[in-house]
Amino acid sequence: MPALDIVLKARLEEAADKGLRRKPRAVVPLKAPLARVQGKELISFCSNDYLGLSQHPQVLEASAQALRDYGASACASRLVSGNHPLYAQIEEQLSSMKHTENACVFGSGYLANLGVISAVVDGADLILTDRLSHACMIDGAHLSGATLKRFKHHDMTHLRSLLDAHRSQYRYCLIMTETVFSMDGDRPPLNDLSKLAEQYDAWLMTDDAHGLGLFTDKNPAHIQMGTLSKAAASYGGYVCGSDELIECLFNFSRSLLFSTGLPPAVIAASVASLKLMKDQPELAQKALSNAALFCRLLDLPEAQSTIVPIILKSEELTLKVAAQLLEDGFFVSAIRPPTVPKDTSRLRFAFTALHTHQQIEKVVEGIKAHGWLEHSGD
Ligand SMILES: *Cc1c(COP(=O)(O)O)cnc(C)c1O
C-alpha cells in the first residue's frame, strides 16, 4: 500500500492538471474595499460584507465590549453551558426581521443547513432542490438520508414534473432553493415555489445567505435559513420558522447539539450589525446600485443582487483573467468547479456599499481594455 502522502500528492496533481488545484492566497484586509495582496494594494470585489459593516465602529465596539464582559469562548454547546443572553437578543432580532415565530442560531451557515435538513426529513422522504443549490444544502440532504433530486435552475415546469413523478412514493417532501444564488446573483420565483409546495403537500426551505440585509420582501418559506457571516459581517448561521421547528432543532439537530456555541463577541457583532441594517436601509440600496452600475457600464443583463458573474467557461481563461486583473489592481475571485458546474467557470464580482463609483468605473475600464467579455458565455 502506498504511503498516505503519496496518494494525496497524486490527487493534488490530478486537480492541478485540470486547472482545479486551489490554495488560499495571503491577503491583508485594509480599509474596505481595499486589500493588500502580494505587497500590492488592490480594490477587492471578493467580499460578502455587502453593507461594509465588518469594520463599522459600532460593530467593533459591541464585539470588544462583549469580549471584555463575557470572555473569549462560549465554553460548551448551548444546551450544556446554557443559553447566553446575547442569543435571546439575536434570535429576537432575526425572527422579527423574517416575520417568523422564532429563530435559532447555529455555529455557521454550513452547520445550520446540515442541522436543519437532517432534523426535518429522513430516509422515508424526498428532497427536491434547485440544481445550483449551495454545497452545504446538498451535504445536509445527503446527511438526512432522504432521496435527493435536483430540478433545473428556477424551472417550475421541471419541478412540477418531478413532483408528479415522485411525490406520492415518499412520506414528506422538502423543496429547497436560495433567495439569492451565491455564484449567479439571481433570484428564484418564490411565490411559484410556494404554490407548488402547497399543491403537492411539500415544505419549502430557503437559504438566504446572500439576501439578508439586502432584501426585505416577505418570504413564504416554512424554513428560512441564512448566515450571519455575509452582510451581517460576523459569523454564525440561523434558522427562522415556527416555535415547533425551532424546538425540534434544539432536540434533533446534531450540528447544534454537538458543537460549541458561538463566542459572545461574535454574537454581539451580529446584534450590532442587524441593528445597523434596520436603521440604515440606504446601505443595501448603495450596494445594489453599485452592482447595477457595473452591469450598465458593461452592457450585462440587469443585476438582481450584489453578485454579478462574468462567465468565461474555461478554468484556464478564468484564472488568466483573474491574474491579469490582479496585475491591474483588482482582486476578483475566479470561481471554478466544483463550486460551479463544469464549463461555467467565472469571475464573481461582489459589490458592497463601500465601493465608490470611481472604483467601479476603474474596474470596468480594466475589463474592457482586455476584451475578455467577447469570450463570455452570456
Ligand atoms: C456562504 C453560504 C453558506 C454557508 O454559510 P457560512 O456561515 O459561511 O458557513 C450557506 N449557503 C450559502 C448559499 C452560502 O453562500
Alpha-carbon distance of 214 to 87, in angstroms, equals 23
Compute the distance between CA of residue 138 and CA of residue 370 in angstroms, rounded to an integer: 37
- 10-residue mean pLDDT profile of the chain (378 residues): values are 95 91 91 95 98 98 97 91 92 98 98 98 98 97 98 98 98 98 98 98 98 96 98 98 98 97 97 98 98 97 97 93 95 94 96 98 93 64
Residue 82: per-residue pLDDT: 83
Q: How far apart are alpha carbons 14 and 304 in whole angstroms? A: 37
Residue identifier of the C-alpha nearest atom 6 of ligand 1: 109
Judging by DSSP bridges, how do beta strands 34-37 and 40-44 pair with one another? Answer: antiparallel
Distance 136 CA to ligand 1 centre (A): 7
The answer, yes or no, to whether any atom of ligand 1 lies below 6 A from the CB of 263, is: no
Which pLDDT score, from 0 to 100, does residue 371 have?
81
Is residue 56 within 8 A of residue 354, CB to CB? The reply is no
Give the per-residue pLDDT at 376: 57
pLDDT of residue 19: 81
Dihedral angle of Cα 295, 300, 301, 306, to the nearest 10 degrees: -30
Is 272's C-beta closer than 6 angstroms to any atom of ligand 1?
no
Look at the block and give the residue holding cell 451580529: 270
Tell me the three cell numbers of residue 37: 495582496
Question: 165 CA distance to ligand 1 centroid (A)?
Answer: 31
Q: What is the pLDDT of residue 152?
A: 98
Look up 182 and say whether it is catalytic.
Answer: yes
Instruction: Give CA–CA dist 358/353, Å, rounded.
Output: 13
Kindly give the residue spans of alpha helices, DSSP state H, lying in the chain: 4-17, 57-70, 78-81, 85-98, 109-120, 135-144, 156-166, 190-199, 243-252, 254-257, 264-279, 282-298, 315-328, 357-370
Cell numbers found for residue 154: 428556477
Identify whether 153 is a catalytic site residue: no
Residue 332, helix vs strand vs coil: coil
* 0.85 surpassed by pTM: yes
Chain position carrying cell 414534473: 161
Query: How does pLDDT run across 81-119, given as a tens digit for each residue?
Result: 888 899 999 999 999 999 999 999 999 999 999 999 999
Are 206 and 169 contacting, i.e. CB atoms less than 8 angstroms apart? no
| Residue 331 CB partners (closer than 8 Å, separation 6+) | 27, 35, 37, 42, 43, 44, 45, 46, 325
**Ligand 1 pocket, residue 227 CB under 6 Å:** yes
Q: Is beta strand 330-331 parallel, antiparallel or unpaired with respect to 345-350? A: unpaired
Catalytic site residue 178?
yes
Inter-CA distances, 334 with 21, 184, 317, 346, Å: 12, 13, 10, 6
**Ligand 1: which atom is nearest the Cα of residue 111?**
9
Contact 239, 25 (CB under 8 A): no
316 among known catalytic residues: no
Give the separation between CA 128 and CA 165, rounded to whole angstroms.
12
**Active-site annotation holds for 83:** no
- Please, are residues 353 and 49 in contact by the beta-carbon 8 Å criterion? no
Determine if ligand 1 sits within 6 Å of the CB of residue 238. no
